[in-house]
A and B are shown apart, each in its own frame.
Chain A
Amino acid sequence: MPPDAGRAAEQVARQSYGKLIAFLAARSRDVPAAEDALSEALASALRVWPERGVPDKPEAWLLVAARRNLMQAARHRTVAANAQTTITVAFEEAEERMNEAGKAVFPDERLKLLFACTHPAIDSSVHTALMLQTVLGIEAKTIARAFVVSPEAMSQRLVRAKVKIRDAGIPFAIPPRSALPERLAAVLSAIYAAYGLGWDGLDGEEERHSLAGEAIWLGRALLAVLPDEPEAIGLLSLMLHCEARRSARRDRNGRYVPLDEQDTAAWNVIMIAEADALLRKAGAFDRFGPFQCHAAIQSVHATRRVSGMTDWPALTTLYAALVKIKHTLGARVAEAAVIGRALSATAGLERLNRLDPRDAAAYQPYWAVRAFLLARAGDDAAAVDAYMTAIGLSDSPAVRDFLADRLKEVRQATPR
Chain B
Amino acid sequence: MQYALIIREAAEDFANRSDPAYRDGWVAYSKALAQAGIMTGGAGLTAPETGTIVRRKGEDHDVQDGPYPEGKEQLGGFYLIEVPNMDTALEWATRVPISDRGSVEVRPRLQM
Contact = CB atoms under 8 A, between A and B. Distances in A.
Contacts of A392: 25, 27-33, 35, 95
A256 to B, nearest CB: 15
Given A149-B90, A395-B94, A389 B21 contact: no
Nearest to B88: A362
Sorting the interface of chain A by its residue count into under 10, 10 to 19, 20 to 34 or 35 or more gives 10 to 19
A391 interface: yes
A362 B36 contact: yes
Interface of A is mostly: helix
Contact of B25 (A149, A153, A400): A400
Looking at B30, B33, B36, the one whose CB has the most chain A CB atoms below 10 A away is B36
Shortest beta-carbon contacts, A-B, top 9: A392-B32, A392-B28, A391-B28, A395-B94, A392-B29, A362-B36, A388-B28, A393-B32, A395-B95
B86 interface: yes
A153 B86 contact: yes
Interface in B1-37: 21, 24-25, 27-33, 35-37
Contact of B87 (A149, A388, A407): A149
A148 B95 CA distance: 11
Contacts of B87: 148-149
B76 to A, nearest CB: 17
Interface residues of B, number: 21
Contacts of A153: 86
Contacts of A150: 90
Nearest to B95: A395
A361 interface: yes
Interface of A: 148-150, 153, 361-362, 388-395, 397, 400, 404, 407
Contacts of A361: 35-37
Nearest to A358: B37
| Chain B CB within 10 Å, residue with most, of A153, A362, A394, A400 | A362
Given A149-B87, A149-B90, A389 B32 contact: yes
A391 B32 CA distance: 8
Contacts of A393: 32, 95
13 contacts: A149-B87, A361-B35, A361-B37, A389-B28, A389-B32, A391-B25, A392-B29, A392-B33, A393-B95, A394-B95, A397-B97, A400-B97, A404-B25
A45 B49 CA distance: 56
Contacts of A400: 25, 97
Contacts of B94: 148, 395
Nearest to B83: A362
Contacts of A404: 21, 24-25
